[in-house]
Structure 1
Amino acid sequence: MRRILHTVRVPIQPVRAWVTSAPGTYLWLAALFVTTVALHRMSPDFEEAFLRQRSTNIHELSTDPVRVLIASAFWIDGGTWLPYAVLYTVFHAPAERWLGTARWLGVVVLAHVGATLVSEGVLGWAVHHGHAPQSAVNTLDVGVSYALAGVIGVLTYRIPRPWHLPYLAAVLIYFGTPLIVGRSFTDLGHFAAVLIGLACHPLTREAAPRSGAARRNTRAASGP
């Protein structure tokens, strides 16, 4: 029995080490799981009204911007959590491990807030000049995709040379094509978030910790 328990326990250790090395990512993901379960318990009409009050649309931003900017980052429109668990593990967790929680959170906040203000600002201009219907001021806009796009952008500086250039090209094509084809305010927000992530280069300086071997080599070179 002990041998069986030991066999089961071994794969858990790397997973636990990975999760604890990116606490912000997985606490956020856990919060999204709770809110997603809550959404599944709501009726469709109530869910829409509930999310609209937490939406970063023009009306809510002009009424209580801080509240909706925070609240919108904890709800997923559509109620599908598992794909975000994968995306957070692939992008957010490596970024947090690399940058540290504080700087990773800085990128997240800048991308989420900045892209929201850019996209809703352009939408507000379109409504004011008759290029979008007046009903667009109450559009439903919640989710974590702007922050994710910003982190995907900043990870360009983590990719080893020369592979960072194909990665950057793929990111720009992926987020730029919908903007050219669809030209929706959310497409603009995603592309703006990527650019904000790229503009966070100062936060990446000396972000990567040296390995234990590198530290030992440095101590050996400097002498006792």
Structure 2
Amino acid sequence: MATFRAVLRLARDYVRRAPGTFVWLAILLVTTYAVQHFSPEFQTRFLERRSTNIHNLWRTPLRVLLGSALYLDGGSWLLYFVLYNLFHVPAERWLGTWRWLGVAAISHIGATYISEGLLLVGIRFGYVPPSSVNVKDIGVSYALAGVQGVLTYRIPRPWRQLYGFCVLVFYGLALVHGRGFTDIGHFTAVLIGLACLPVARWQQERHAAVHET
């Protein structure tokens, strides 16, 4: 019994140190369960209304930018549970909930607008069909890619360069082989995360100051 209580205490402390990540995972669990029980036709319409495509970004940008980050498009919740624990949890503990959330939000929004903007350019010049304004773009992967990028600054040298190189190669190869607007979005999100160096540097300086006192 004592061992069980100790395990529960450890699990509770683990969750408390990254509350934003686990609230987000809980929301995704509920929404994923709900969407899976919709009829195929209603599921398609439901997700299309929350998609950050060109049409929706023009009409209801705030609603779809928030809504698209609360649903998974065909991905396994358990997979994202693992990925969130590998990347979001350490990032939130390191940066703090609000700065971590800021990096995730900037990556999500920035990558969405850049990828959809390039898609719009492609439509205007005839490289992609006009129907692409309604293409489905939903999920949490841009935010995840951005957090993976900023975590580069959390890793000590010389492993920092190796980690950053691997992240860029992973998303860079996907961009080269896929060449889709979501591949552009993921690579852009990583670059946005890497551009959040001032946030990481501020946190490192603050951490050093605390230890000096």
Would the TM-score normalized by the shorter structure come out above 0.5?
Answer: yes
Correspondence for 2:6: 10
Q: Does 1:131 align with 2:127?
A: yes
1:54-73 to 2 correspondences below 5 Å: 54-73=50-69
What is the TM-score with the length of structure 1 in the denominator? 0.91
* Letter of the structure 1 residue corresponding to residue 92 of structure 2: E
**Percent of matched pairs sharing the same residue:** 55
* Structure 2 residue 96 is the aligned partner of structure 1 residue 104: no
2:188 is matched with which residue: 177, 186, 192? 192
Q: 2:94 & 2:203 partners in 1: Cα distance?
A: 6
1:25 Cα offset (Å): 0.6
Q: Over aligned residue pairs, what C-alpha RMSD do you find?
A: 1.4
Aligned residues: 211
Corresponding position: 1:140 with 2:133: no
Q: Is 1:179 equivalent to 2:175 in the alignment?
A: yes
- In 1: Cα distance, 2:8 partner to 2:81 partner: 17
Q: Which runs of 4+ in 1 moved over 4 A?
A: 208-211
Give 1:44 shift: 1.0
Give the aligned partner of residue 15 of structure 2. 19
Whole-Å separation in 2 of the counterparts to 1:162 and 1:80: 34
**What is the one-letter code of the residue matched to 1:45?**
E
* Aligned counterparts of 1:167 and 1:107: Cα–Cα separation in 2: 18
* 2:160 is the counterpart of 1:164: yes
Question: Distance between the aligned counterparts of 2:59 and 2:174, measured in 1?
Answer: 30
How far did 1:206 drift?
Answer: 3.8
Q: 1:36 is aligned with what amino acid? A: T
Compute the displacement of 1:205 (Å). 2.0
Partner of 1:113: 109
Structure 1 residue 151 and structure 2 residue 165: aligned?
Answer: no
Structure 1 spans left out of the alignment, 5+ residues: 220-224
1:8-34 CA-to-partner distances (Å, cap 9, x unmatched) read 111222221111111111101100000
Higher CA-based Rg: 1
One-letter amino acid matched to 1:77: D
C-alpha distance in structure 2 between counterparts of 1:94 and 1:44, whole Å: 36
1:18-73 deviations in Å (ceiling 9; x for gaps): 11111111101100000001011101111011000000000000111111001100
Question: One-letter code of the match for 1:116?
Answer: T
